Amino acid sequence: MEDITLGMSLQGTSITQISRSIRTNRNIAIEFVNYSEKLFRNPRYYCLSGVNIIPPQPTIKAHTAEACSFGKWSFTARGSVGVMTYDIYENFENLTNKCLAIMFSVPFDYMYYDNWFGVGIFKNDEACDKNLFKKMYYGSEHGFRRKKASNGIIKYSSEGIEINAGMSNAAQSILKLEIWNKYFN
């Protein structure tokens, strides 16, 4: 296993501690473990429901782990639902024309909804907005994969990157992403 450096967002803490520290009953803590040589920069996010609590790090370096979190507004019958993207760089100077997208849904009402997540690679001019969320939550799986959290791991490969992702099926959820170099099919 390759050595991973804990980035600023994980210094002195863990994704579990971050999740437990969020004072709402519907939230998600997202951990990125970048085993690849790529860099991820210029994070954007859109919350259909809820707010960003710990902002995404501006850059996720190669062989580094980082985290961010989202939660619902206090005293509201809402969940933590949204999408986020990072531009993909070959190195610090060379931007690709692609972005990594992550969709998450931790609903308030488990009578009608379940936890869902999705990961994919899109052109980096794809707006991080309600339309991207709808595409990843409701649309045909072109350029991404989605799964109910209770149904296991997503494995998705594109643009020289392999993504392995899993999400807990809990109201205070954790989403873990591993990003690897993909050298062959």
Separation CA 89–CA 2 (nearest Å): 20
Residue 121 · residue 36 · CB < 8 Å: no
Radius of gyration of the chain, Cα coordinates, nearest whole angstrom: 15
Give me the pLDDT at residue 172, please.
Answer: 94
For the range 53-57, what are the long-range contacts, defined as Cβ-Cβ under 8 Å and sequence gap of 24 or more?
53/22, 53/27, 54/9, 54/18, 54/29, 56/84, 56/86, 57/7, 57/8, 57/9
Q: From 62, 162, 87, select the one nearest 119 (Cα to Cα).
A: 162
Token pair 């209770």 in the structure block, residue: 150
Token pair 């009953």 in the structure block, residue: 25
| Domain count within the chain | 1
Residue 128 · residue 84 · CB < 8 Å: yes
Give me the pLDDT at residue 179, please.
Answer: 98
Give me the pLDDT at residue 184, please.
Answer: 57
Separation CA 57–CA 40 (nearest Å): 9
Task: Dig out the tokens for 63 from the structure.
Answer: 């062989």
Residue 16 belongs to domain spanning: 5-181
Any idea what the CATH number is for the domain that residue 146 is in? 2.60.270.20
- For residue range 115-126, list pLDDT tens digits in order: 999 999 999 999
Give me the pLDDT at residue 1, please.
Answer: 53
What tens-digit pLDDT sequence spans the chain (185 residues)?
A: 569 999 999 999 999 999 988 888 899 999 999 999 999 999 999 999 999 999 999 999 999 999 999 998 776 778 999 999 999 998 777 878 999 999 999 998 888 999 999 999 999 999 999 999 999 999 999 999 999 999 999 999 998 899 999 999 999 999 999 999 987 55
For the range 6-10, what are the long-range contacts, defined as Cβ-Cβ under 8 Å and sequence gap of 24 or more?
6/64, 6/65, 7/57, 7/60, 7/61, 7/64, 7/65, 7/66, 7/67, 8/57, 8/66, 9/54, 9/57, 9/66, 9/67, 9/68, 10/65, 10/66, 10/67
Residue 88 · residue 38 · CB < 8 Å: yes
